[in-house]
Structure 1
Amino acid sequence: MKKQWWTNDWLVQLGVAVGYALLYVLIHPLSSAHWPVHAGIRLACLLLMPYRFWPALLIGEALPNAYEVFPCLDSLGPTWVAVRSLPPFAVAMPIVWWCRTRMPPFPSHRLIDMKAMITCALLVALGGMVYSSLAYSVSLDNAETLSAEPVIAFGYFLGPYLAIFSILPWVLMAKLDYHPGHLREQLHKILSSRLSLDVVVLLIPTLAVLSWLNLIGSVEFKQVAPMIMFLPIAWLTIKHGWRAAAVGGPLAIACISLSSQFVDYPDPKTVATQTFLVIAITCLFSLGARISAQLLQEEEEKHSALNVQRLARQSFQLGEQRMRQTSQALEYLAGNLHITNGRLLEQMRRIVPNIESHAFYKQALATQNQVYRLAESMHPIAWRERGLPAALNETIARALDEAGIAYRCEINGRGFSRLAPSVLTATYRAACEAVVYVSSRLACTRVKLMLRGGETNGKRWVVLRVEGILEDTGVANAVYLSEERQRLASKLGASALDVAEMRDHVSIFDGGMHVRRPQDRLQITVLLQDITQEARRVPSAPVRLWVK
Structure 2
Amino acid sequence: MGKVFQRNEWLAQIGVAVGYALLYLATSPISTSHWPIHAGLRFACLLLFPYRYWTALLIGEAVSNGYEVYTCLDTLGLAWVLVRAIPPILPTMPVVWWCRTKMPPFPAKHVVDIKALIICILLSSAAGMIYSTAAYPLLPDAVRPSLPIAVAAIGFFLGPYLAILSVVPWAVMAKLDYRPGQLREQGRRILASKLFLDTIALLVPAVVILSWLGAVGKDQQVKEVASVAMFLPMAWLTLKHGWRAAAVSSTLAITVFSLSISILGDFDSVTYVTQVCLAICATSLFALGARISAQLIQEQKERLSAMNVQRLARQTMQAGELRMRKTSQALEYLAGTLHVNNSRLLEQMRRIVPNIESHAFYKQAVATQTQVYRLAESMHPVAWRDRGLPAALNETVARALDEAGIAYRCEITGRGFTRMAPSVLTATYRVICEAIVYATSRLACNRVRLVLRGGETHGRRWVVLRVEGVLEDTGVANAVFYSEERQRLAAKLGASTLELPELRDHVSIFDGVLHMRTPRDKLRLTAMLHDVPQEAQMSATTSAPLRLWVK
When normalised by structure 2's length, the TM-score is: 0.95
Confirm or deny: 8 A CA contact 1:466 1:525 kept in the other structure. yes
Equivalent residue number for residue 184 of structure 1? 184
Q: CA deviation at 1:10?
A: 2.3
Equivalent residue number for residue 194 of structure 2? 194
Confirm or deny: 8 A CA contact 1:33 1:265 kept in the other structure. no
Q: Which amino acid aligns with 2:14?
A: L
CA–CA separation in structure 1 for the residues paired with 2:548 and 2:269: 37
Equivalent residue number for residue 484 of structure 2? 483
1:85 aligns with 2:60: no
Alignment of 1:140-539 (within 5 A): 140-141=140-141, 148-220=148-220, 221-260=222-261, 267-538=268-539
CA–CA separation in structure 1 for the residues paired with 2:468 and 2:64: 85
Q: Which amino acid aligns with 1:189?
A: R
Confirm or deny: 8 A CA contact 2:104 2:116 kept in the other structure. yes
CA–CA separation in structure 2 for the residues paired with 1:321 and 1:136: 82
Task: Give the gaps of 5 or more residues in structure 2.
Answer: none
Q: Which amino acid aligns with 2:343?
A: G
Q: Which amino acid aligns with 1:544?
A: R
Number of matched residues?
Answer: 548
Confirm or deny: 8 A CA contact 2:133 2:149 kept in the other structure. no
Q: Which amino acid aligns with 2:346?
A: L
Task: Indicate the larger mover: 238-247 or 202-211.
Answer: 202-211
Confirm or deny: 8 A CA contact 2:91 2:131 kept in the other structure. yes
Q: CA deviation at 1:9?
A: 2.4
RMSD: 2.2
Equivalent residue number for residue 124 of structure 2? 124
Confirm or deny: 8 A CA contact 1:513 1:525 kept in the other structure. yes
Confirm or deny: 8 A CA contact 2:460 2:533 kept in the other structure. no
Q: CA deviation at 1:68?
A: 2.6
After superposition, the Cα gap between the structure-2 partners of 1:493 and 1:503, relative to the gap in structure 1 and judged at 3 Å, is same
Q: CA deviation at 1:537?
A: 4.1
Q: CA deviation at 1:268?
A: 3.0
Q: CA deviation at 1:208?
A: 2.6
Q: CA deviation at 1:474?
A: 1.2
Confirm or deny: 8 A CA contact 2:261 2:267 kept in the other structure. no
Confirm or deny: 8 A CA contact 1:133 1:146 kept in the other structure. no
1:108 aligns with 2:111: no
Tell me the secondary structure at the aligned position of residue 474 of structure 2: helix
CA–CA separation in structure 2 for the residues paired with 1:372 and 1:542: 51
Tell me the secondary structure at the aligned position of residue 228 of structure 2: helix
Q: CA deviation at 1:98?
A: 0.7
Q: Deviations over 1:227-262 (max 9, x none)?
A: 222221111111111111111111110111111369
After superposition, the Cα gap between the structure-2 partners of 1:141 and 1:85, relative to the gap in structure 1 and judged at 3 Å, is same
CA–CA separation in structure 1 for the residues paired with 2:285 and 2:62: 34
Percent identical across equivalent pairs? 66
Q: CA deviation at 1:137?
A: 2.4
1:61 aligns with 2:64: no
Task: Indicate the larger mover: 396-405 or 217-226.
Answer: 217-226
Q: CA deviation at 1:462?
A: 0.5
Equivalent residue number for residue 25 of structure 1? 25
CA–CA separation in structure 1 for the residues paired with 2:152 and 2:316: 70
CA–CA separation in structure 2 for the residues paired with 1:140 and 1:15: 38
Q: Which amino acid aligns with 1:311?
A: L
Tell me the secondary structure at the aligned position of residue 453 of structure 1: strand
Confirm or deny: 8 A CA contact 1:503 1:513 kept in the other structure. yes
Task: Indicate the larger mover: 148-157 or 491-500.
Answer: 148-157
Q: Which amino acid aligns with 2:547?
A: R
Q: Which amino acid aligns with 1:24?
A: Y
Q: Which amino acid aligns with 1:235?
A: W
CA–CA separation in structure 2 for the residues paired with 1:119 and 1:265: 31
Q: CA deviation at 1:214?
A: 3.6
CA–CA separation in structure 2 for the residues paired with 1:403 and 1:7: 90
Q: Deviations over 1:199-233 (max 9, x none)?
A: 11112222232333344322332233222222211
Tell me the secondary structure at the aligned position of residue 285 of structure 2: helix
Tell me the secondary structure at the aligned position of residue 230 of structure 2: helix
Q: Which amino acid aligns with 2:46?
A: L
After superposition, the Cα gap between the structure-2 partners of 1:5 and 1:350, relative to the gap in structure 1 and judged at 3 Å, is closer
Equivalent residue number for residue 8 of structure 1? 8
Confirm or deny: 8 A CA contact 1:448 1:467 kept in the other structure. yes
When normalised by structure 1's length, the TM-score is: 0.96
CA–CA separation in structure 1 for the residues paired with 2:121 and 2:218: 34
CA–CA separation in structure 1 for the residues paired with 2:266 and 2:100: 32
Q: CA deviation at 1:477?
A: 1.4
Tell me the secondary structure at the aligned position of residue 466 of structure 2: strand
After superposition, the Cα gap between the structure-2 partners of 1:261 and 1:228, relative to the gap in structure 1 and judged at 3 Å, is farther
Tell me the secondary structure at the aligned position of residue 472 of structure 1: coil
After superposition, the Cα gap between the structure-2 partners of 1:450 and 1:145, relative to the gap in structure 1 and judged at 3 Å, is closer
Q: Which amino acid aligns with 1:472?
A: D
CA–CA separation in structure 2 for the residues paired with 1:547 and 1:507: 33
After superposition, the Cα gap between the structure-2 partners of 1:535 and 1:75, relative to the gap in structure 1 and judged at 3 Å, is closer
Q: CA deviation at 1:182?
A: 1.0
1:547 aligns with 2:550: yes
Q: Which amino acid aligns with 1:234?
A: A
Tell me the secondary structure at the aligned position of residue 463 of structure 2: strand
After superposition, the Cα gap between the structure-2 partners of 1:74 and 1:385, relative to the gap in structure 1 and judged at 3 Å, is closer
CA–CA separation in structure 2 for the residues paired with 1:6 and 1:537: 45
Tell me the secondary structure at the aligned position of residue 544 of structure 1: coil
Tell me the secondary structure at the aligned position of residue 515 of structure 1: strand
Q: CA deviation at 1:139?
A: 3.4
Task: Give the gaps of 5 or more residues in structure 1.
Answer: none
